[in-house]
Chains A and B, each alone.
Chain A
């Protein structure tokens, strides 16, 4: 799993690439947590266009970061969601909490 991030003011955009499963989840969690560690960060955009595989482990990772951001009045957005991953997001109801960029 590879993560490339850019910051613009209070907004971080993270490009994820590779496979997001239980094995890679811990690494992704740590990287995203360090990216949003600064309490000034209000918005995290996860660009999923290069995620080749994701199972429900990815939902836990996204929901955890969503909680951190919403506790400080921020938000999490999902961008470039590939169709197979979009199906998992839809059945989980995650779009009620996080927005599509």
Chain B
């Protein structure tokens, strides 16, 4: 079974949102996904990285880690920040919930991740940071 992994760490700058989703998309392309599946992964990773930058660090300087794992026909991405964490994960995952209404955010980030990926797991400790795990399995085996 084909296995692969990658680890990437970058500054919590909004410029790195496009960089991170491009890297995730390129890594995921090893599974020969359809264009729609590729867009799903790029979009979900973009949402998680944006959350890390806006909510984890509140636009202060920090580091965001993107890990990618391929295991057969499954891909897993873990997006970690070491910022303020989420007090109430269940509330944060609710559609339209935003902790910053003044920022004109839609509150749909987690809903988009959940729609586009097979599994979304959120682990967070207030004051320590947040890890979002995104998983997607392709029906056919990797080439």
- A residues in contact (CB < 8 Å) with B: 19, 21-23, 29, 53, 55-57, 59-61, 63-64, 83-84, 87-88, 91-92
Contacts and interface: CB of A to CB of B under 8 A. Distances in A.
Contacts of A56: 47, 105-106, 108-109, 111-112
Interface residues of B, number: 23
Interface of B is mostly: helix
**Which 5 interchain pairs have the tightest Cβ spacing?**
A59-B106, A23-B14, A56-B108, A84-B39, A60-B104
Given A55-B50, A56-B47, A56-B109, A64 B18 contact: no
B54 interface: yes
Given A84-B39, A84-B43, A91-B115, A22 B53 contact: yes
B143 interface: no
A19 B50 contact: no
Contacts of B53: 22
Contacts of A53: 18, 21, 39, 42-43, 46
Interface of B: 14-15, 17-18, 21, 36, 39, 42-43, 46-47, 50, 53-54, 103-106, 108-109, 111-112, 115
A63 B14 contact: no
A69 B36 CA distance: 33
B106 A60 contact: yes
A28 B108 CA distance: 19
| Most-contacted residue by chain B among A57, A63, A87 (CB, 10 A) | A57
A63 B14 CA distance: 21
Contact of A57 (B15, B39, B105, B111): B105
A40 B46 CA distance: 37
12 contacts: A22-B17, A22-B50, A29-B104, A53-B43, A55-B112, A56-B108, A56-B109, A56-B111, A59-B108, A60-B104, A60-B105, A88-B43
Contacts of A29: 104
B64 to A, nearest CB: 13
A92 B109 CA distance: 10
